[in-house]
């Protein structure tokens, strides 16, 4: 990887630079659009129901951009081989951008261009990830790219159901994609969180992991993901949710050490993981109470996915540009507090006092936009400038 930094624009040297910028910008833009419709009551038209549009764009727009940026960087470290940069990376990013542009168009005729771009984006990303993995025969990484293939499948299913105007099936396809992203976070978290914590707290600590818990988590999450979408029997779903809740509480307790609370880039990942776990508890409550699992869904998405991805974006952006992750910018604490407030307002406050539901949603949206807006303010120069050591990357 001893490339000359003059051969390629800085933002196209590694995947995290351009995709994290795109993800943060779209996190603000997409939520502002949703705010104008849901809270401000604007007359907005796109090529699908707006509630479906919101879910689709948060998953396939924002989240998949973060996934792309992270995996294109992580696979390079895992395999020792370069992933795409320069023109191929720009092409992949532009395909993602075109999918977002078509998603905003107020006509059903834009659906097929949007579908084509979304499917091609995930397919090209999967190939870009698989190529170096296959080259070095790291078959253990199949746990990562297999989830991308399943997310691709859920995207294809979504557009088929959208063409048929089958709203229930559309939402099931989106829900399955959410579960695959949760699974991906659990896989990545299992690999990196103990590593980050052991080396980041500033003292010697050995954290616990259990292969038994790993296997139980894998089997139960696969079963839960399929059954909740295809055959949501209450007893089965609440049992699997309970097992997943307990398993991940045990896993996270094995990673806990008090020193994380002095390190923002550590505790933010911990908090994000907690929200994912709480999602399973809220799922149990929803099933037992026979009411919609909106709180569980947003604990997973606005909470777990939103917080965890912002934490990873902050860490990767700082560390992989040659900076000390033990000394991040002080302003990131405000950014992290904003995303946590957003999650609390979206997940828990509507449960506590439902009459102010719209207000809680508005507060959540505003703090979400503030969090990712702060990311752009703090990290824009970091992501668009040459590393301090003048190295490639």
What confidence tens digit (pLDDT) does each residue in 360-388 have?
Answer: 999 999 999 999 999 999 999 999 999 99
pLDDT of 5 above 80: no
The residues spanned by each domain of the chain are 5-384
Percent of the chain with pLDDT over 90: 88
CA atoms of 384 and 190, how far apart (whole Å):
30
| Residue 107 in tokens | 């006509």
Give residue 6's pLDDT band: very low, low, confident or very high (50, 70, 90): low
The upper half-sphere exposure of residue 237, i.e. CA atoms within 13 Å in the direction of its Cβ, equals: 23
Q: How far apart are CA 154 and CA 119, in angstroms?
A: 10
Which range in 35-39, 46-50, 178-182 is most confidently predicted, on average pLDDT? 178-182
Percent of the chain with pLDDT over 70: 98
Q: Give the model's pLDDT for residue 2.
A: 47
| Other beta carbons less than 10 A from residue 355's beta carbon | 7
> What crossing angle do the helices spanning 264-289 and 167-200 adopt, rounded to 10°?
140
Q: How many CB atoms lie within 10 A of CB 45?
A: 9
For residue 361, what pLDDT is reported?
A: 97
Residue 142 near residue 186 (C-beta atoms within 8 A)? no
Q: In angstroms, what CA-CA distances link 53 with 8, 34, 42, 144, 338? A: 35, 9, 15, 26, 24
* pLDDT of amino acid 38: 85
What's the mean pLDDT in 79-98? Answer: 97
Contacts of 337 (CB under 8 A, 6+ apart): none
Cα gap 68→393, rounded to integer Å: 16
Q: Is the pLDDT of residue 57 over 60?
A: yes
Rounded Cα–Cα distance for residues 335 and 319 (Å): 17
Matching residue, tokens 């370069």: 82
* pLDDT > 80? residue 4: no
Q: Between the CA of residue 210 and those of 54, 107, 207, 213, what are the distances in Å? A: 37, 51, 10, 5
* Alpha-carbon torsion angle 245, 247, 253, 254, nearest 10: -160
Query: Cα dihedral angle (235, 238, 244, 248), rounded to 10 degrees?
Result: -150
Q: Grade residue 1 by pLDDT with cuts at 50, 70 and 90.
A: very low
CA distances to 23, 162, 291 from 102, rounded to whole Å, are 17, 15, 34
Q: What is the pLDDT of residue 44?
A: 72
Give yes or no for residue 83 having a pLDDT over 70.
yes
The predicted model gives 56-64 an average pLDDT of 98
Residue 109 has pLDDT above 80, yes or no: no
pLDDT digits (tens, 9 = 90+) for 264-313: 999 999 999 999 999 999 999 999 987 889 999 999 999 999 999 999 99
| Residues 171, 176, 180, 182, Cα dihedral to 10° | 60
Amino acid 168: pLDDT: 95
Phi, psi of 106 (to 5 degrees): -85, 40
**CATH architecture of the region 5-384:** Up-down Bundle (1.20)
d(CA 33, CA 355): 24
Residue 136 backbone dihedrals phi, psi, to 5 degrees: -105, 5
Q: How high is the mean pLDDT of the chain?
A: 94
């Amino acid at each position: 990887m001893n490339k000359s930094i003059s051969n390629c624009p800085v933002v196209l040297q590694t995947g995290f630079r351009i995709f994290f910028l795109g993800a943060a910008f779209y996190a603000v833009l997409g939520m502002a659009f949703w705010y104008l419709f849901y809270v401000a009551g604007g007359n907005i038209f796109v090529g699908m129901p707006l509630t479906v549009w919101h879910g689709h764009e948060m998953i396939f727009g924002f989240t998949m951009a973060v996934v792309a940026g992270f995996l294109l960087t992580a696979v390079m470290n895992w395999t020792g081989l370069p992933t795409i940069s320069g023109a191929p990376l720009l092409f992949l990013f532009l395909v993602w951008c075109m999918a977002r542009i078509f998603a905003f168009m107020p006509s059903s005729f834009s659906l097929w261009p949007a579908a084509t771009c979304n499917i091609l984006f995930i397919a090209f990303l999967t190939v870009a990830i698989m190529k170096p993995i296959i080259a070095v025969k790291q078959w253990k990484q199949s746990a990562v790219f297999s989830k991308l293939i399943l997310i691709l499948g859920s995207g294809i299913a979504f557009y088929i159901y959208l063409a048929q105007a089958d709203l229930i099936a559309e939402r099931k396809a989106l829900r399955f994609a959410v579960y695959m992203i949760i699974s991906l976070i659990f896989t990545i978290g299992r690999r990196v969180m103990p590593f980050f914590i052991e080396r980041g707290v500033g003292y010697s600590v050995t954290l616990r992991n259990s292969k038994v818990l790993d296997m139980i988590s894998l089997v139960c999450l696969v079963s839960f993901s399929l059954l909740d979408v295809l055959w949501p029997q209450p007893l089965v779903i609440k049992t699997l949710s309970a097992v997943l809740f307990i398993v991940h509480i045990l896993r996270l307790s094995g990673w806990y050490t008090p020193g994380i609370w002095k390190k923002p880039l550590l505790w933010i990942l911990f908090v994000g993981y907690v929200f994912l776990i709480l999602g399973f508890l809220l799922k149990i409550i929803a099933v037992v109470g026979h009411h919609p699992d909106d709180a569980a869904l947003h604990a997973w998405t606005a909470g777990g996915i939103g917080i965890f991805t912002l934490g990873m974006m902050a860490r990767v952006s700082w560390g992989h540009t040659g900076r000390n992750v033990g000394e991040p910018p002080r302003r990131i604490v405000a950014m992290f507090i904003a995303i946590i407030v957003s999650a609390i307002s979206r997940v828990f406050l509507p449960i506590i006092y439902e009459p102010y539901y719209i207000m809680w949603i508005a507060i959540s949206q505003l703090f979400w936009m503030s969090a990712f807006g702060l990311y752009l303010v703090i990290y824009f120069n970091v992501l668009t400038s040459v590393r301090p050591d003048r190295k490639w990357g």
